[in-house]
Amino acid sequence: MITLINGQLQNTISVQDRGLAYGDGVFETMLSIHGQIPLLHKHMQRLHESLQRLDIQTNRIEENIELIHAHLLSDKQQIVKLTVTRGVGPRGYLPVKPCLPTVIIQISDKNNIDETKRRSGVSITYCETLYSKQPKLAGMKHLNRMDQVLAQMELAQGPFDEGIMFDDKQCAISATMHNLFLVNASCLITPKLDECGVAGVMRAHVLDLANQLNLDINVQTVTKNHINQADELFLTNSLHGIWPICQLNSTILPIGPVTSELMNKVAKVIPYGD
Amino acid sequence: MITLINGQLQNTISVQDRGLAYGDGVFETMLSIHGQIPLLHKHMQRLHESLQRLDIQTNRIEENIELIHAHLLSDKQQIVKLTVTRGVGPRGYLPVKPCLPTVIIQISDKNNIDETKRRSGVSITYCETLYSKQPKLAGMKHLNRMDQVLAQMELAQGPFDEGIMFDDKQCAISATMHNLFLVNASCLITPKLDECGVAGVMRAHVLDLANQLNLDINVQTVTKNHINQADELFLTNSLHGIWPICQLNSTILPIGPVTSELMNKVAKVIPYGD
């Protein structure tokens, strides 16, 4: 693992960093293949939007992206985690201006243990752990991730690969570490994320591809009824691409034609299994 | 500032600490007066309960409390922040067992700039920033604190000292860094915190005192109507004790008899102004 903090080879941060104290920051987890990050543009778009919404000002992102590329290896798949916190500050929730954000780069090798999940699909259940709603953070990949930690701890008690999380109105938001897609009568459906949830980069990429394929697309409120009645279900994230859902609780599902077509499209840009 | 990490004089933590990555941990902010922490017992009760609920196992809290006492000064008021994270872990929301929690002690001097706020009272408004609901974290002082950061950023745009935060059903939860109390027809009222909010140590102390004073106590759903119609309003936290609310939006409020009586009671155990 290579770790750089504000451009220096270093693996510790100040205990006064607001990323630790309050989770005051955001991160991107990106896949590098042959020394390139295929969806870099979309990652940067989300990162910059999130930093702007949080009023975390830094002009050092581009130089850190150059630094990342200088450390990527052309002969393997790697995972690049880029974290930006508001930086060190005194005690107290209110940020002191100006802040000096902390930019953390972590590069590690990707193993391929998940390859069978993409090929054969995954089993999924419904989580009891709620997704907490905060419209001011909706869509961001911020550092307040206890909902996901708790949901994963719940999931680890059972046999399922993933779990769908709901808000307190029983609307599906996403799985614990993937976005959720449904296919119903050839229409591609994914939960709207205006009150909570991470607007995944692979989710955005799949929506782009669906547009190119002239699929009907609905970004909408999704209930258990919608999920139970779907023809196809699949999950997305940047590291895994598309994972078909082959089992929902006790119901076995086939890998359907829309899922397969989108997987083929994704594979042309991002050769996951290579 | 004195900083100790896992017992060592040190002020950096690993970038792989789950406290930074996910906010996977809890903290206590405690007031020390003359080398003693008056409400230590209540802080420890909440800390141990929170760690148990999060399944963060450590038997090193007691030795860290001894360490804190060894560093406290008898001639000044100090602020002791004790943070416990789940410790270093690999990438991924699911905690790997066993974990080796990180215990962070930060001791700093308390300034007395807030003294006039306790004597004269504070002005308060209603925040637009919602308090996000997560029943599995309700009551804990965990490290996912972006709700409070966002609310304080909102508050900084206006002239008010503090702001009351509501959940998405318009129920008051607390102020951004204080618990909220209402007095109505001699009944002491505070919001119930079963879906979100920090169950403050000073809140618990005030409820104990109210019990001793044979006050009627209601821990209940609190709406704007309740607040607007209250005879007295006050805020609590461990560092400030009780702050009377002397202004709610444009309405001026007197410091009432129940607030004053409780303040006198608190002052007997915790001589804030000394």
ipTM computed for the complex? 0.96
Quick: pLDDT tens for B96-114: 988 999 999 999 999 877 7
Contact B235, B162 (CB under 8 A): yes
Residues 138..177 of A with a Cβ closer than 8 Å to B: which? Answer: 142-153, 155-156, 168, 176-177
**What is the average pLDDT value for chain A, to the nearest integer?**
96
From chain A, the residues in CB contact with B148 under 8 A are 22, 93
Of A3, A29, A146, the CB nearest to B22: A146
Report, as an integer, the average pLDDT of A217-244. Answer: 97
B273 pLDDT more than 80: no
d(CA B238, CA B200): 7
A194 pLDDT more than 80: yes
Q: Answer whether A40 touches B (CB < 8 Å).
A: no
**What is the average pLDDT value for chain B, to the nearest integer?**
96
B274 pLDDT more than 70: no
Give the pLDDT score at A274.
60
Q: Answer whether B53 touches A (CB < 8 Å).
A: no
B269 pLDDT more than 90: no
Which structure tokens are listed for A68? 């990342």
A130 pLDDT more than 70: yes
pLDDT band with cut points at 50, 70 and 90 for residue A272: confident
Contact across the interface for B11 and A16, Cβ inside 8 Å: yes
Q: Answer whether B21 touches A (CB < 8 Å).
A: yes
The total of other beta-carbon atoms located within 10 Å of residue A49's CB is 14
Contact across the interface for B29 and A91, Cβ inside 8 Å: yes
Contact A222, A228 (CB under 8 A): no
Who contacts A76 (Cβ-Cβ below 8 Å, separation ≥6)?
Answer: A109, A110
Quick: pLDDT tens for B16-36: 999 999 999 999 999 999 999
Contact A152, B93 (CB under 8 A): yes
pTM of the model: 0.97
Who contacts A190 (Cβ-Cβ below 8 Å, separation ≥6)?
Answer: A179, A180, A181, A182, A203, A207, A218, A219, A222
The total of other beta-carbon atoms located within 10 Å of residue A244's CB is 22
Quick: pLDDT tens for A46-91: 999 999 999 999 999 999 999 999 999 999 999 999 999 999 999 9
Å from B149 to nearest chain A CA?
A: 5
Å from A139 to nearest chain B CA?
A: 14
Interhelix angle B257-269/B201-212, nearest 10 degrees: 110
